[in-house]
Amino acid sequence: MELHVLNHPLVEHKLTVLRDKNTPSSTFRELVSELVMLEAYEATRDLSVVSVPIETPVAPMTGKKLAEPRPIIVPVLRAGLGMLDGMTRLLPTAEVGFLGMKRDEDHPTQQITYANRLPDDLSGRQCFLIDPMLATGGTLVAATHYLAERGAKDVTAINIIAAPEGIKYVEEHIDPSIDFKVVVCAVDEKLNDKCYIVPGLGDAGDRLYGVID
């Protein structure tokens, strides 16, 4: 597993405003999109490209374009939807799949899959899993293995914040045959007894879309 933590003053500034409990949902959504675009720049550094001959207004040349098959972005519902706009702004030609997972509250590292809108065959695809929080790590491992069962071998997770416990769990449980990377804006202090990240930013889904009972 390869972990990349962004170290940039713009990221720190935006993340501070994002964490503030007084930041309204409209600003929260915009900041999530902006942070994801900054993360996506790093996360897509190793995208596959092919050489393409073109002609500029001045001379012929050989440029680079993204290779086929197109990369696929997979938001983990529902909070991951808040990151989708930032990803598709940077990768407008990518396909988008959806994966619905929720934590089993009695077993925090176990997940319940309740929705799937993905191709049956992901062989040869570069996959980007997006979910704001890497807390216990259970969702990330389950989602990555879900993609791997469909042939994915190149998976990059993009999370805004992570807990050390979650990173450790992922390192210990991710299938080593997967080329797996994680990009985060920050690694926080710890998980509390409810498995929430401290200091964290609260429930990302609720702050994006409001509380649903």
What are the pLDDT digits (tens) for 59-109? 999 999 999 999 999 999 878 888 999 999 999 999 999 998 766 666 655
According to the annotation, is 29 in a ligand binding site?
A: no
CATH code for the domain defined by 2-49+66-209: 3.40.50.2020
| 137's tokens | 């790590």
According to the annotation, is 206 in a ligand binding site?
A: no
Mind listing the pLDDT tens digit for each residue in 178-189?
A: 999 999 999 999
CB atoms within 10 A of CB 51: 9
Position 184 scores a pLDDT of 97
According to the annotation, is 197 in a ligand binding site?
A: yes
Position 103 scores a pLDDT of 65
According to the annotation, is 113 in a ligand binding site?
A: no
Residue linked to tokens 């550094």 = 45
According to the annotation, is 132 in a ligand binding site?
A: yes
**CA 100 – CA 111 distance, rounded (Å):** 10
According to the annotation, is 136 in a ligand binding site?
A: yes
Does the predicted model carry a pTM greater than 0.85?
yes
According to the annotation, is 37 in a ligand binding site?
A: no
According to the annotation, is 134 in a ligand binding site?
A: yes
According to the annotation, is 63 in a ligand binding site?
A: no
According to the annotation, is 133 in a ligand binding site?
A: yes
